[in-house]
Structure 1
Amino acid sequence: MKVGTITFHCAYNFGSALQTYALKKYLTDLGHDVHVIDYRSDNFRDYRIFRRYSYKSYFKDLLYLSGNLRRRKSFQEFWRTHFNLTDCTYEGPDAERLLALDFKDYDALICGSDQIWNLDCTAGPVPSFFLSFASSESKKIAYAPSLSHAKFEEKNFTQEDKMHISGWLSHFDALSVRELSVAGQFQQLTNRPIVETLDPTLLLNLEDYRQIQALQLPKKLEAGKYIFAYTLWPNRDMMHYIDKLAAKRGLTVVYYSQTPFRYKSHAINVWGIGPSDFLTLIDKSNCVVSNSFHATVFSILYGKQFLTFGMEKSTSRMRTLLSKLGLSEEHLLPSDFDGERDIEPFSSALDTALLNNLRVDSEQFIKDALA
């Protein structure tokens, strides 16, 4: 079958890139001709080299230009190598019309995963992420999009939005989300059942990721001699904890940030790396400390010692992930953790039989939906 997938593939974000790769590879391994639709929603403006929101943002982007250029190059090389992107890029007010023209002969269209249905993230529903452009002849499937939280801001989920979403959902052949616990907002808008499926990154085995990770660590790094501190939203307590851990274990802190952090310990900023380097940094680390869902996923898959700092909007999905995989919730620190508790990253052996059992329902969902 000729299949198109649409998601946040073009965000300069490791999780976004790797979940796009995972779903594309899984479908390709099933024997389908898979294309990632190069659709750029308005959110993509946040990832431009010069965002032009204000003089302050412009000069900040200029100050860190060399790192920003390396970042763009690293991600775009990953996209070109692993995504089988469509030749055309779809963006702007004419995107939906062009998508309808170019994808009318596709056998199936799949939206998901990532937070394409998180209306607070997208500032309201984005029609193309609900396959508004799909023809009646194409199968329409939602695979594990995330709503992220149980209640959207009213301005992003108006009565008019609900009417549109209800209409879009009614045209789907199969509906799934990543977290069923927050899907009630959409389930009330459709009679079609919404089920829960795994994040695409969990559909692949470790060997699949080892095949695409970078062959070498960034310069000045030695395997096993650093903490990979991947902090999407850093805070003082988290940085204080990482500093203490680095001193206790005699390790370098490796972090990723456009703006340098002021760690007391020896620290190296790897801003500019791409998804393949991200996997290698996890693989070769002594341990991983993060507040990222996908950093947690890959720490588990690679069997690393790890701790995850919870946040108000993500603690529930982190806890659900650990619970599903039969792992200790001690890996998850509360959002109000002050860094003083005597706990260190530790590893939990992944029960591969349990993961394989969890995959069965998600794999069957995909196969049934494409049948």
Structure 2
Amino acid sequence: MRIGTITVQNGNNYGASLQAFALIKYLRKNGWDAYLIDYRNQKIEDRLTEQSFITSWRGKNQIKKNIRIILSNAIWKTDRFVKEKNKAFSEFHKSIFDQSGGTLYDVSELKKLNSLYDAFICGSDQIWNKDITGLDDAFFLSFANSDKKRIAYAPSLGKESGAIVEEDYDIYRHKLRSIDFLSIREPNNKKFIETVTHRECCVVLDPVLLLDKQEWEEEILNVSPIIQKGYALYYPVINQPELEKYAIQKAREKGIKLFNPRLVPSYAKMKGYTAISSKPVGPIEFVKLIKESECIFTNSFHATVFSSIFNKELYVIKLKGKNKNRNNRIIEYLKMIGIRQSLIDTSDLIHIKDFESTMQWENVTERKKESVEYLKKSLDYNS
């Protein structure tokens, strides 16, 4: 059986790339001929372009942003850094992309894939988060013919169900009709999906947890060290000055260096970071960084998951304001793995010093069993 998976992978985001890789790796390991479809969601493409390139000189805010881009390129060589980082992500994706399908930018182009695949899987990551993807039809498999197996594996809404506005209920109800087998990543979204579809929805693990610790260690075995050991890792998916300040302070108290893989090296030095990489960090190097770090400061779901896999001391400061809903992903994961409620809810700071002493791995083992059964049932149905 030939399987095409579709997810958000064009944002140069470590977690997004690694979950896409992990699902393909797991499917291939278990005998399925699986590939990642190289689909570029337009909303994400536009955001990346706006952040890094000059697109217009109209409006005062656009002019200010363009000036910042020009100065950043002149002083910090940001354009060169972005180009090299893009290359690192492209190289990582090569082994999982379906080269025959080409790069696709519109859902209508995806219809031709029906001649190449027997089944389609959408997921994981925040493909069903309106703020991220605009609820792109591609991530609801609208292009797949009814004779194909259409499966959702661990998509995320990126927020608690209560944060979804009422007018979006009918949109989800309509779009989810294209999918034969429904699953979700965050447990507190299960009821919402079942309410709008009147169908069963399974709760399954993020794909990175389909591979065990030993398998991830094998993947990074031959990866060259990015920086010397004896460092803390600060990785914000959302810029969070409060967490950055805290990370700098704690790293100084611990007497270790601090590294931020998102920053251009020369700019990182200016900001006071003391661990610097001479080249951009790709997705698999990111896993190595976590494995060899002393501790992690993050608001990233996947950095949190890898911290638990490699038993790293973790610091999370809950996001506030318009990004508050993003806390849901991390909190739901920590609850699922059995982290004590007191460590999660008592303050804005979540600090886990030792995962092995607090984590209930049997919860992960049981959920992995359920996740594997869900995939097998979905893919073997009427085959």
Shorter-chain-normalised TM-score: which range? 0.7 to 0.9
Structure 2 match to 1:238:
243
Pair 205,81 (structure 1): closer, same or farther in 2 beyond 3 Å: same
Structure 2 match to 1:103:
114
1:280 maps onto 2:285 in alignment: no
Give the 5 Å matches for 1:1-371.
1-42=1-42, 43-48=44-49, 50=53, 52=55, 54-55=62-63, 56-57=65-66, 58-59=69-70, 62-63=73-74, 64-91=78-105, 95-123=106-134, 125-149=135-159, 150-151=161-162, 154=165, 158=167, 162-163=169-170, 165-213=172-220, 215-218=223-226, 221-223=227-229, 225-258=230-263, 260=267, 266-268=274-276, 272-311=280-319, 312-328=324-340, 332=344, 336-337=348-349, 346-349=353-356, 351-371=360-380
Q: What's the secondary structure of 1:3's corresponding residue? A: strand
Inter-partner Cα distance in structure 2 for 1:69 and 1:191: 46
What code does the residue aligned with 1:222 have? Q
What code does the residue aligned with 2:31 have? G
TM-score, normalization by structure 2: 0.84
Q: What's the secondary structure of 1:11's corresponding residue? A: coil
Segment of structure 1 superposing worse, 68-77 or 174-183: 174-183
1:163 Cα deviation after fit: 4.5
Identity of aligned residues (%): 30
1:31 Cα deviation after fit: 0.7
- Check the 8 A contact 2:317/2:348 in 1, yes or no: no
- Check the 8 A contact 2:38/2:97 in 1, yes or no: no
What code does the residue aligned with 1:361 have? E
Inter-partner Cα distance in structure 2 for 1:356 and 1:222: 33
Inter-partner Cα distance in structure 2 for 1:60 and 1:333: 42
- Check the 8 A contact 2:158/2:326 in 1, yes or no: yes
What code does the residue aligned with 2:198 have? N
What code does the residue aligned with 1:44 have? E
Pair 328,26 (structure 1): closer, same or farther in 2 beyond 3 Å: same
- Check the 8 A contact 1:287/1:305 in 2, yes or no: yes
What code does the residue aligned with 2:120 have? L
- Check the 8 A contact 1:35/1:86 in 2, yes or no: no
C-alpha offsets along residues 53-85 of structure 1, whole Å, 9 cap, x if unaligned?
Answer: 644245267441111111101101101134445
What code does the residue aligned with 1:36 have? L
Inter-partner Cα distance in structure 2 for 1:84 and 1:119: 26
- Check the 8 A contact 1:308/1:331 in 2, yes or no: no
Inter-partner Cα distance in structure 2 for 1:121 and 1:35: 23
Q: What's the secondary structure of 1:359's corresponding residue? A: helix
Inter-partner Cα distance in structure 2 for 1:105 and 1:265: 48
Pair 196,147 (structure 1): closer, same or farther in 2 beyond 3 Å: same
Structure 2 match to 1:340:
none
TM-score, normalization by structure 1: 0.86
- Check the 8 A contact 2:158/2:328 in 1, yes or no: no
Pair 234,30 (structure 1): closer, same or farther in 2 beyond 3 Å: same
Inter-partner Cα distance in structure 2 for 1:306 and 1:256: 17
What code does the residue aligned with 1:2 have? R
Pair 6,59 (structure 1): closer, same or farther in 2 beyond 3 Å: same
Q: What's the secondary structure of 1:189's corresponding residue? A: helix
C-alpha offsets along residues 106-131 of structure 1, whole Å, 9 cap, x if unaligned?
Answer: 211110111110012223x2111100
Unpaired segments of 5 or more residues in structure 2? Answer: 57-61
Inter-partner Cα distance in structure 2 for 1:104 and 1:81: 21
Inter-partner Cα distance in structure 2 for 1:332 and 1:253: 25
Q: What's the secondary structure of 1:69's corresponding residue? A: helix
Q: What's the secondary structure of 2:233's corresponding residue? A: strand
- Check the 8 A contact 2:156/2:184 in 1, yes or no: yes
Inter-partner Cα distance in structure 1 for 2:71 and 2:187: 39
Q: What's the secondary structure of 1:314's corresponding residue? A: helix
1:133 Cα deviation after fit: 0.3
Structure 1 match to 2:59:
none
C-alpha offsets along residues 340-360 of structure 1, whole Å, 9 cap, x if unaligned?
Answer: xxx976122154444222211
Segment of structure 1 superposing worse, 347-356 or 278-287: 347-356
Unpaired segments of 5 or more residues in structure 1? Answer: 338-342
- Check the 8 A contact 1:307/1:332 in 2, yes or no: no
Pair 168,315 (structure 1): closer, same or farther in 2 beyond 3 Å: closer
Pair 83,97 (structure 1): closer, same or farther in 2 beyond 3 Å: closer
Inter-partner Cα distance in structure 2 for 1:242 and 1:202: 27
C-alpha offsets along residues 260-292 of structure 1, whole Å, 9 cap, x if unaligned?
Answer: 466556353677211111111111111111111
